[in-house]
Amino acid sequence: MSTASPTAPGPRPTAERRVRTIRRTGLSIGVATGLYGISFGALATASGLDVWQAMVLSAVMFTGGSQFAFIGVVGGGGSALGAALASVLLGIRNTLYGLILAPSLPRGGLRGFARAQLTIDESAALAASGTTTEEKRAGFWAAGVWVYVFWNLFSLVGALAGQFVADPAAWGLDAAAAAAFLALLWPRLRSGEAVAIAVAAALVALVTAPSLPPGLPVLAAAAVAVVAGLLPSRHRPVHGSGPRTGDARGAEEEGPR
């Protein structure tokens, strides 16, 4: 008679359930974010772009804040150069996401190209929620692919509808670009320093808007953040200071910045 105990179930089923949950979350994020593409498509065509131009912009640029910045400057009568610079400044954050996600995601070939295209706020956030490489990859691809699909689908719906909207303000679409920027900014206002930079940038934009061509006030406001980033911060740890290595309580109280 065998006395061997039955084999205990391994951690695999739990890991698989977590991956399935992450993928379902990616789908829900894709639908919710994609619906916002209706505003972009409608604003794009109402600002003077045709349907194909709006869709190429959505498919190739594929970063909401940058897209709204582009059509906001163009629709306001600004130059293409000013629109492009505003878009690039807002898209720089995706490069930082890519650096953070690099150890967990492919770098070369078609998958590497797809990864570069799908590195956005949503895919980076869901990837960061994973605890293993498998979960990080599942979160990145689920959010990135579904947001791309639904964003472009609803952008097309909005672009087609925008051709029949004579006055975007009557539908509240003129406020969509500002709402997009606030949605990007609000979660990052977690410290007094961040709030101070945001207020200073807003004041610079308000002061320069009457005198500068459309698009340039955005660049002037962005310059405030660049200058602030170059200045030493009182919250950054000084070499040799901070909690000692063995002081676990001090490390916990310090927490992430």
d(CA 65, CA 58): 11
pLDDT tens for each residue of 70-93: 887 887 777 778 788 878 877 887
Sign of CA dihedral 184, 187, 191, 192: positive
Q: Over 90: is that where the pLDDT of 149 sits?
A: yes
With cut-offs at 50, 70 and 90, classify the pLDDT of residue 22: very high
Contact 26, 126 (CB under 8 A): yes
d(CA 109, CA 189): 37
Contact 161, 154 (CB under 8 A): no
For 40-71, letters b (16+ CB in 10 Å) and e give bbbbbbbbebebeebbebbeeebbbbbbbbbb
pLDDT for the residue 238: 42
d(CA 71, CA 165): 16
Domain spans of the chain? 17-173, 189-234
pLDDT for the residue 182: 66
C-alpha neighbours within 13 Å on the C-beta side of residue 194: 8
pLDDT for the residue 214: 61
DSSP string, 145-209: HHHHHHHHHHHHHHHHHHTT-S-GGGGTGGGHHHHHHHHHHGGG--SHHHHHHHHHHHHHHHHHT
With cut-offs at 50, 70 and 90, classify the pLDDT of residue 107: confident
